[in-house]
């Protein structure tokens, strides 16, 4: 494929995603975040791989711009790798959230391409199960069919699949667009 054709294709797919995003679910996510801010709860953002990098950036924005106390367990690589080594990867996020005393005033936000399943991203699945047990709200920004996060989140923003070859870059790229939308909506909408 020629360079210009690939550029046009990628940007065409991006525009297609814009048209297919569920605006009502985005509004629900904004409402959840406005509530956590009002009640002075905390926001915990989970992601693995590129989504972990997105989580780190989003923590900064939700704290600095959004005024919400926000954390990502992947920002402390020493604790993350110690938990992985000592307890196993599947429990890393849930155990971190237990130490952070996750409660009903808090929100768990998940950035994930697939949303977790019984065979992938079990650390995210186990964290979502803990959030359910503790009564925390859940918001997710995921793709494919939403996975486990899509099944249990109070607001699941699904990045539509417009190309099987580019699910991951579109999902992770749109995580950034969506969290910036959410952060800035906190001060812009009633």
Could you write out the DSSP letters of every residue in 51-99?
HHHHHHHHHHHHHHTT--EEE-GGG-HHHHHHHHHHH-GGGHHHHHHHH
Quote the CA–CA distance of 46 and 136 in Å, as a whole number: 14
Give the domain 3-188 fold. Rossmann fold (3.40.50)
Please answer whether residues 113 and 175 qualify as being in contact, where contact means their C-beta atoms are separated by less than 8 angstroms: no
pTM: 0.96
| Element spanning 142, H or E | strand 137-142
| Element spanning 156, H or E | strand 155-158
149-169 in b/e form (b: 16+ CB < 10 A) is: bbebbbbbbbbbbbeeeebee
Going from N- to C-terminal start, the domains of the chain cover 3-188
Strands 42-46 and 137-142: unpaired
Sign of CA dihedral 29, 34, 37, 40: negative
Q: What is the pLDDT along the chain (190 residues), one digit of tens a residue?
A: 899 999 999 999 999 999 999 999 999 999 999 999 999 999 999 999 999 999 999 999 999 999 999 999 999 999 999 999 999 999 999 999 999 999 999 999 999 999 999 889 999 999 999 999 999 999 999 999 999 999 999 999 999 999 999 999 999 999 999 999 999 999 887 7
Q: Which of 75, 54, 55 is nearest to 169 (CA)?
A: 54
């Amino acid at each position: 494929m020629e360079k210009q054709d690939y550029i046009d294709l990628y940007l065409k797919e991006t525009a297609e995603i814009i048209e297919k995003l569920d605006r009502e679910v985005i509004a629900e996510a904004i409402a959840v975040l406005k509530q956590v801010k009002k009640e002075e709860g905390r926001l915990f953002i989970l992601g693995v791989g590129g989504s972990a990098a997105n989580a780190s950036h989003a923590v900064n924005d939700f704290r600095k711009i959004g005024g919400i106390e926000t954390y990502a367990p992947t920002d402390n690589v020493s604790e993350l790798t110690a938990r992985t080594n000592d307890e196993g990867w599947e429990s890393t996020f849930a155990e971190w959230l237990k130490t952070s005393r996750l409660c009903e005033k808090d929100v768990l936000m998940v950035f994930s391409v697939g949303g977790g399943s019984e065979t992938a991203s079990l650390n995210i699945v186990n964290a979502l199960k803990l959030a359910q047990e503790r009564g925390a709200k859940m918001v997710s920004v995921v793709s494919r069919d939403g996975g486990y996060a899509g099944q249990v989140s109070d607001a699941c923003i699904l990045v539509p699949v417009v190309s099987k070859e580019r699910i991951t870059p579109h999902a992770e790229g749109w995580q950034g667009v969506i969290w910036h939308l959410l952060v800035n909506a906190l001060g812009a909408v009633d």
